[in-house]
Amino acid sequence: MSDDPTRGLPPCPRRYGAVNWLGTWTLFMKEVRRFLKVHFQTITAPVVTTLLFLAVFTLALGPVAARVGGVDFAEFLAPGLVMMAMVQNSFANTSSSLIIAKVQGNIVDMLMPPLTGAEMTVAIAAGGVARGVLVGLVVALAMALFVPMHIHSIGLILFHAVMGSLMLSLLGMIGGIWADKFDHMAAVTNFVVTPLSFLSGTFYSIERLPEHFHAFALANPFFYMIDGFRAGFIGHSDGSLTVGLAVVTLTDLVLGLVTWKMLASGYKLRG
């Protein structure tokens, strides 16, 4: 005879505390396993692409490349390429997760569990950050075989790696929720993410820009995350690190609030 006191009793709803930690962790792990399952595409491919960027720029300029920020051009370029790989993959992870779920019609599997908008925001965004940081680590290790990668400030490196990846994870979530089809998502990538990435000082110092373009660069939040991340390696920044820390943090807070509101309201998610 069974000693189970619940035997024969009708099922009752599971009780959760203020935060559904189990559900949040489960959704986060689902996002992580999703990109690890196709690691050749999500991790190996970005490494190859970033190394090609490094080879093209260093070989094209050759010995005529001037020193930038007190270091060789290749050493200046490498951290920017690492950060660009991180943010692009963070964006791709969250945006593809949501738009694919919407197009395939299984977004309901994400909305039905007892998760609040804040819990879904944290879980999905953290999955994007995990992919971005992992890609950045692998790219940096591969790049260190060809370019000196000195660490000047580990705090700056870690802060901008995590917060920069978070920024693009949240932006990818906003784009994925807003987009109704893959063409819409491609428009966000081509007309927002790519231009801001390439015009953020990844491949050059903004000190070389004309006066009127200099102000535009300083208004680009992508500039601050790349500038701060690079400063963690070479010890030189084109802008104020204090302003950069504030801009990156404030941008993440605003994007996080917008994402939470969109998920909590079911904007373009509930029929």
Query: Is 10 a member of any domain?
Result: no
Sign of CA dihedral 13, 14, 18, 21: negative
- Number of domains the chain is built from: 1
Query: Is 12 a member of any domain?
Result: no
Mean pLDDT, consecutive 10-residue stretches, the chain (271 aa), reads: 60 72 94 94 93 85 63 88 94 94 87 90 97 96 91 95 97 95 91 87 80 81 94 91 96 97 89 61
> What pLDDT, on the 0 to 100 scale, is given for residue 1?
47
Query: Is 270 a member of any domain?
Result: no
Domain housing 127: 21-265
> What pLDDT, on the 0 to 100 scale, is given for residue 60?
72
Distances (CA, A) of 41 to 23, 90, 92, 131, 140: 27, 14, 12, 12, 18
Sign of CA dihedral 96, 99, 101, 103: negative
The candidate with the shortest Cα–Cα distance to 232, out of 5, 80, 99, 58, is: 80
> What pLDDT, on the 0 to 100 scale, is given for residue 11?
64
Statement: the pTM of the whole predicted model exceeds 0.85: yes
Query: Is 15 a member of any domain?
Result: no
Provide the token pair at 76: 């200046």
Query: Is 244 a member of any domain?
Result: yes
Query: Is 2 a member of any domain?
Result: no
Query: Is 13 a member of any domain?
Result: no
